[in-house]
Amino acid sequence: MLSTKDYIERNLAAELSIDALADYLGISGSYFSLLFKQHFGETFVEYVTKQRIEMAKSLLALSYKTVTEIGQMVGYAERRYFTRVFSKYTGMLPSEFRERHQIQAARPEMPVWEPREESI
C-alpha cells in the first residue's frame, strides 16, 4: 500500500482510478478497494480528494499561479468543480483561502528621503 500512496502523490494531476491502481498492483479493483479502506481508514476517492485539496492549499499559499492553474495541477480540469470541492473541504473559496494564507514575500523597508532644513 505504500507504493500506492507514492503513486497517488506523484500523479495527483492525472486521472486516478481504482481500476488503474489495481492494475498497477496486479490485483482486482474490489480487492484493492477493500485493502485501501483497511489500510488508510477511508475510501480511495476520499483519500485522493484530501491529498489534492492539501496540495492545492499549499500551492495557493506559496505560489502566484491562478486558481485555474492550481486546480489543473491537482487533477481538476474545470475551475468550477475544483472550487466546489475545495469549498466543501475547507469551508472557503480558493481565493479566500489564498487571501488569508498567502505568505507575502518580505520586502525590506526602503528609507524615506526627507530633505533637511539647512540653518543659515
The pLDDT tens digits for 11-23 are: 999 999 999 899 9
d(C-alpha 32, C-alpha 3), whole Å: 13
What residues contact 71, with CB distance under 8 A and at least 6 apart?
Answer: 56, 77, 78, 79, 81, 82, 83, 94
For the chain, domain boundaries: 2-101
Residues 75-117 pLDDT 10s: 999 999 999 999 999 999 999 999 999 875 444 454 555 556 6
d(C-alpha 72, C-alpha 61), whole Å: 16
d(C-alpha 8, C-alpha 102), whole Å: 26
CATH superfamily to which 2-101 belongs: Homeodomain-like (1.10.10.60)
